[in-house]
Chains A and B, each alone.
Chain A
Amino acid sequence: GQNIDQPTEMTATEGAIVQINCTYQTSGFNGLFWYQQHAGEAPTFLSYNVLDGLEEKGRFSSFLSRSKGYSYLLLKELQMKDSASYLCAVDTNAGKSTFGDGTTLTVKP
């Protein structure tokens, strides 16, 4: 079966750094997605990691360790607009992604 865990909620201060963790146990692994979803809107793609290591894209970075079944999304210089749900999704078979329950991030002034 598939098991993907991420914290339900996190709170951080504007301008700070926050790290959202995701651990997974899946049968088969091709890569891991991070999506951002604002309330009432569709998910938007943030990153896709296949190889171990850190990938940086502006204020957002994503890390993957395949041997540990672990990923994190790092958000720097937090802005109020970063308040959203962050979804970790594991690509276990071609054409299919299994989503975690999402982490609701609240950024406070």
Chain B
Amino acid sequence: DTEVTQTPKHLVMGMTNKKSLKCEQHMGHRAMYWYKQKAKKPPELMFVYSYEKLSINESVPSRFSPECPNSSLLNLHLHALQPEDSALYLCASSRGLAGGQLTRDTQYFGPGTRLTVL
């Protein structure tokens, strides 16, 4: 199983709403990632979790709040978003640590959640 799943596939929300994006993998990966991708632009890294701990936060606004409840799940909680936050949100996972170092390993991407903020 080399699949990363994300729900929902599409999400439309108002600026006052609170919603959550979910990501799940069962490959035993210990590193999980959130990316934001605008149209015709490359993915931009938002957060990295390594062994369920937040290891990288790319200066993301606090209206995005990540959570890693266990090694298989990654959530992104959304609150008070702006229209410019509309984008494709991609989750990815990779093996994680080996020999004490975070390995540079293949990142498997989920299909993404297409978010529209009105």
Contacts and interface: CB of A to CB of B under 8 A. Distances in A.
B12 interface: no
Interface in B83-118: 90, 101-112
B106 A42 contact: no
B106 A95 contact: no
Contacts of B41: 101-102
A30 interface: yes
A98 B55 CA distance: 16
Interface residues of A, number: 22
B11 interface: no
B50 interface: yes
Nearest to B96: A95
B90 A94 contact: no
Contacts of B101: 94
B109 A95 contact: no
Interface in A33-68: 33, 41-45, 48, 50
A102 B108 contact: no
Looking at A42, A96, A102, the one whose CB has the most chain B CB atoms below 10 A away is A42
B14 interface: no
A7 interface: no
B31 interface: yes
B109 A42 contact: yes
Given A30-B104, A45-B108, A94-B101, A99 B48 contact: no
28 contacts: A31-B104, A42-B90, A42-B109, A42-B110, A42-B111, A42-B112, A43-B90, A43-B109, A44-B109, A45-B106, A45-B107, A48-B106, A87-B42, A89-B42, A91-B104, A94-B101, A94-B104, A95-B31, A95-B48, A96-B48, A97-B45, A98-B45, A99-B42, A99-B43, A99-B44, A100-B42, A102-B41, A102-B42
Interface of A: 30-31, 33, 41-45, 48, 50, 87, 89, 91, 94-102
